[in-house]
């Protein structure tokens, strides 16, 4: 699952580059439609220290998007996958949990 570790590192990098510092926890889903070249959608939720939702988006850059696509393509060679999820706290991003599933 080397690709999964690379993707986690890329998600952490993108989160660390966010300029807004009020967020405490992130719950991210990246969903891929049946045809991989159609892009991705998803839900991105950010919360403050009190658990209140913060309006914030993580869009990433070209490297981020390429890593997402490469991961989902590689994992689909092993089985059906169309969702990448990440849950992590700002001060402990390395302990965040990434999961790959089929929804």
pTM of the model as a whole: 0.85
Question: How many domains does the chain fold into?
Answer: 1
| pLDDT score of 38 | 66
pLDDT of residue 36: 53
Q: What is the pLDDT at residue 61?
A: 79
- Residue 42: give the domain boundaries: 2-101
Q: Which residues of the chain have pLDDT under 50?
A: none
How do residues 71-92 score in pLDDT, each as one tens digit?
888 888 888 888 899 999 999 9
Give per-residue burial for 23-45: e unless 16+ CB within 10 Å, then b: bbbbebbbebeeeeeeebeeeee
Q: How many CA atoms lie within 13 A of 51 on its CB side?
A: 0
pLDDT at 19: 78
CATH of the domain at 36: 3.30.500
């Amino acid at each position: 699952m080397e690709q999964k570790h690379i993707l986690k590192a890329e998600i952490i990098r993108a989160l660390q580059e966010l300029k807004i510092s009020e967020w405490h926890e992130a719950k991210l889903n990246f969903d891929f439609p049946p045809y991989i070249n159609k892009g991705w959608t998803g839900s991105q939720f950010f919360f403050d220290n009190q658990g209140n939702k913060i309006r914030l988006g993580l869009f990433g850059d070209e490297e981020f998007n390429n890593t997402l696509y490469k991961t989902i393509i590689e994992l689909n060679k092993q089985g059906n996958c169309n969702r990448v999820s990440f849950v992590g706290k700002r001060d402990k991003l390395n302990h965040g949990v990434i999961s790959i599933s089929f929804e």
